[in-house]
Structure 1
Amino acid sequence: MSSRRILARSFAAQRVSAAPLSSPPPARILLAPFASPSLHRSFSASSSIGAVTAAQISPTSAGSAPPPPPPPPNSSKPRKSLLHGVLRISLLALKYLVAPVLLVIAGYASTRYAMAAVSAPAALHPAAPASPASTDPATPPALDVDTALLDIPLVRQLRADPAWIETRPHDRIPDAFREHNLTAGPLAGPRRLTVVPIMFSNETTNETVGVFHLGRDLCGHPGIVHGGMLATILDESLVFTAFPVLPSHVGVTASLSINYRAPAYADNFYALKGHVEKHEGRKAWVHGHIETIPTDGKPPVTVAEAELLVVEPKWAKSLPNFFTT
């Protein structure tokens, strides 16, 4: 054994004997005889760091008290009463059961009322006056209605005024085209447009007056003339009103606006009155309305009125013109 190791061991023994008994010797002194100086220094530093870290982490070594335990859950929360549950169930029943049943009952009642209104029109609407064609069954209806038409005071007044020109435009349509014309073919005949409508035109004031009879086969609701039929008469008659002011005396409907004012009862005579409000080149704006022809001295009632824009197309020369000469 070398002299250096002997001196180191004796020196360590003196240090251990001189150290107090109350404090344990450091780890670096106990391991000093068995380790190199570099290993001794690293282990001593690691031991001291580990001691400090444990002291910092352990709360008891620092002298602080342990943290208090978490509070117990609140067990005094009030419970929902039985009344609250019953009320909630009642509201759910009202929402998902009672409300749909009420809606079904309301729909059924409204449907029954609508069916009753359609099946019993006489209780909801006044009866239409009897047609003159029904006064004499032995007389042909068209001849009887035409005689009654010519006897209307408005027709007699216009026929006596030389400023008004009387025409029956449907009579000018050739037979080959008449059956394909809506108002002269399918809509003409007994219980429809019973007789050929009569038209009066005033070229000075650009006005027209037409008189026609609407039968019971032209109805929408029972006893009431269909609104589409009134629109057809307004369209066709007001275009006829615009023909004289157009360059080629022929035109087509560009727009039509209709307001329905009162029901038009079937099996009655009606008058159409129209006039040109303004015209510019190939365009003409026409206003007109359909009114009743009362026989009891009361004023006429407007059943529908319309605004019409008539345009002469660029291909107007290719259209046949049966209504003006």
Structure 2
Amino acid sequence: MSLPRTTTTFTRLLTKRPPTHLIIPHTQIRTIKAGAASSAIESPSTLPSYHDRLDQPPTPPQSTLSTAEHLITTHPLVQSLRSNPSYKESRPHLHMKSSHRPNHFVAGTLSGANKVTVPPYMFTSIVNRKPSSSSSQEEGTTTKEGKESPRARLISVFHIGPQLCGHPGYVHGGLLSVMFDEAFARCVSDSFKSGLGMTANLNVDFRKPALPERVYVLKAETVKVEGRKAWVEGEMRSMPAPGSGEGEEGETVVAEARALFVEPKFAESMVPLYRN
């Protein structure tokens, strides 16, 4: 039985190929899409290279930076340390290799406006006691070769912004632990030949709530060195808020800590973090 004429015509329309001048190759479609996308993106030649961006330390907005820098550099303690020849000033995060900074927890992740607003200032003093034969064994200040291991005192000064809180209005206790760990590692580095120590144990006692938008002073001291082990203790104080009129009486001990660091046997294979 033959189909009606209208049905036959409709079938031909469905199966009829479009004119060749209307067919667009798939490669041409991809080219058109790529061209449209690239036109909406800034030309790569006008963008800074990846390495150029890494070479620049992360900096908060100028207003935040200038306020935090001013609070720290004008603090009487900092001015006193700068005039004390037994202390050496440094800012380790600024000397960190640019390729490592973005992936570093403190110098990268926690650094920025409203966080750890500026790279911490650190002041280090090396302490070398002359141990007697008895005291050296008791205090563990000598190496296996009988030479005294240098021990350091370190003072770190930094500013914490409002976005590192646990409960709104109170700095997260985990951040205080991290800042202890960071400063302690720098403190014990002078006691190890490789300059590297890894945290074996860290104990933090929280004394008072830590408030944001304050300058903090962390004092650490390596109290014992025994071979590849070094013990360090310290405390963290919150400085009075600007314009509060509290003076030195407004200083608050927010936490105390102690830790054991061990120089790893594979220290020579570890990637150095700092240029110096």
Q: Kindly indicate whether the alpha-carbon contact (under 8 Å) linking 1:198 and 1:211 is maintained by their aligned counterparts in 2.
A: yes
Aligned: 1:243 with 2:166: no
Residue aligning to 1:8: none
User: Post-superposition shift, 1:143?
Assistant: 2.0
Aligned: 1:172 with 2:133: no
Counterpart secondary structure, 1:297: helix
* Identity between Structure 1 and Structure 2 (%): 37
For residues 98-177 of structure 1, the aligned pairs below 5 Å read: 140-177=63-100
Residue aligning to 1:92: none
Residue aligning to 2:269: 318
Q: Kindly indicate whether the alpha-carbon contact (under 8 Å) linking 2:164 and 2:175 is maintained by their aligned counterparts in 1.
A: yes
Q: Kindly indicate whether the alpha-carbon contact (under 8 Å) linking 2:221 and 2:234 is maintained by their aligned counterparts in 1.
A: yes
Unaligned runs of at least 5 residues, structure 1: 1-137
Counterpart secondary structure, 1:176: coil
Distance 1:297 1:214 in 2: 19
Residue aligning to 1:298: 249
Q: Kindly indicate whether the alpha-carbon contact (under 8 Å) linking 2:97 and 2:275 is maintained by their aligned counterparts in 1.
A: no
Distance 2:79 2:187 in 1: 21
Amino acid aligned to 2:214: N
Distance 2:232 2:101 in 1: 26
Distance 1:316 1:196 in 2: 26
Counterpart secondary structure, 1:271: strand
Aligned: 1:260 with 2:206: yes
Over 3 Å counting, the alpha-carbon distance change for 1:165 and 1:322 in structure 2 is farther
Residue aligning to 2:118: 195
Unaligned runs of at least 5 residues, structure 2: 1-60, 128-150, 241-245
Whichever of the two has the greater Rg, that structure is 1
Higher mean C-alpha displacement, 203-212 vs 272-281? 203-212
Distance 2:186 2:231 in 1: 12
Aligned: 1:208 with 2:154: yes
Distance 1:139 1:244 in 2: 34
Amino acid aligned to 2:72: L
User: Post-superposition shift, 1:169?
Assistant: 0.6
Q: Kindly indicate whether the alpha-carbon contact (under 8 Å) linking 1:247 and 1:281 is maintained by their aligned counterparts in 2.
A: no
Structure with the higher fraction of residues in helix conformation? 1
Q: Deviations over 1:81-107 (max 9, x none)?
A: xxxxxxxxxxxxxxxxxxxxxxxxxxx
Counterpart secondary structure, 2:272: coil
Aligned: 1:217 with 2:163: yes
Equivalent position to 2:177, from 231, 240, 262: 231
Amino acid aligned to 2:229: K
User: Post-superposition shift, 1:320?
Assistant: 2.8
Q: Kindly indicate whether the alpha-carbon contact (under 8 Å) linking 1:194 and 1:215 is maintained by their aligned counterparts in 2.
A: yes
Structure with the higher fraction of residues in strand conformation? 2
User: Post-superposition shift, 1:249?
Assistant: 1.2
Distance 2:171 2:214 in 1: 10
Number of equivalenced pairs: 188
Counterpart secondary structure, 1:217: coil
Q: Deviations over 1:145-164 (max 9, x none)?
A: 11221001110000110100
Q: Deviations over 1:1-34 (max 9, x none)?
A: xxxxxxxxxxxxxxxxxxxxxxxxxxxxxxxxxx
Over 3 Å counting, the alpha-carbon distance change for 1:323 and 1:242 in structure 2 is farther
User: Post-superposition shift, 1:323?
Assistant: 4.6
Counterpart secondary structure, 1:262: coil
Distance 2:88 2:275 in 1: 12
Distance 1:286 1:298 in 2: 27
Q: CA RMSD in A?
A: 1.6
Counterpart secondary structure, 2:105: coil
Distance 1:166 1:321 in 2: 20
User: Post-superposition shift, 1:297?
Assistant: 3.0
Distance 1:193 1:228 in 2: 13
Distance 2:239 2:255 in 1: 14
User: Post-superposition shift, 1:292?
Assistant: 1.6
Higher RCO (Cα < 8 Å, 6 or more apart)? 2
